């Protein structure tokens, strides 16, 4: 009981320090990320690109904002229709930037189509809160 009484003020000091550290970390980290000229490649963006090239509609749907059942059915139908028509050759991250919850990530994709032609084209993804809201 005596030991507990002795430790209580130090526990209070520790908790105050922890709260201060948490606020500094959360606010400072967010500001640093926002002011950084470049952002790191996002795991969600990379996963989206892999799912897109591997034609996995289930993963793509999971990485996009919730849509209606018909839109999702169209994504499945589209994936079935194009299955096996392209062979991905390379996937290159060209960089990105974040501004608050919004982030943009650009990729260069190289694929070989079913008729053997090579195609090399870019794709920019816009993510809000880890979900892909725009792809062009």
Give the nearer residue to another protein in terms of CB position, either 25 or 65: 25
Burial 31-65 (b: 16+ CB within 10 A, else e): eeeeeeeebebbebbebbbebbbebebeebbebbe
Q: Is 102 in the site for another protein (CB under 8 A)?
A: yes
Segment contacting another protein (CB under 8 A): 63-71, 72-80, 97-105? 97-105
Q: Closest Cα to residue 85, out of 60, 53, 121?
A: 53
For residues 105 and 122, the answer to whether their CB atoms sit within 8 Å is no
Q: Which of residues 2-61 bind another protein (CB under 8 A)?
A: 10, 13-26, 29, 37-38, 41, 43-44, 46-47, 49-50, 53-54
Kindly list the residues in this chain that would bind another protein in the complex (CB under 8 A).
10, 13-26, 29, 37-38, 41, 43-44, 46-47, 49-50, 53-54, 88-100, 102-106, 108, 110, 118, 120-126, 136
């Amino acid at each position: 009981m005596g030991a507990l009484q002795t430790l209580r003020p130090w526990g209070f000091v520790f908790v105050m320090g922890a709260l201060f550290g948490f606020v500094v970390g959360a606010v400072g980290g967010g500001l640093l990320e926002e002011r950084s000229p470049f952002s790191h490649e996002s795991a969600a963006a990379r996963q989206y690109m892999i799912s897109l090239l591997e034609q996995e509609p289930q993963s793509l749907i999971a990485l996009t904002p919730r849509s209606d059942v018909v839109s999702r059915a169209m994504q499945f139908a589209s994936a079935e229709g194009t299955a096996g028509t392209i062979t991905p050759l390379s996937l290159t991250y060209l960089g990105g930037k974040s501004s608050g919850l919004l982030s943009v990530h650009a990729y260069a994709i190289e694929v070989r189509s079913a008729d053997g032609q090579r195609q090399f084209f870019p794709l920019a993804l816009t993510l809000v809160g880890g979900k892909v809201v725009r792809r062009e």
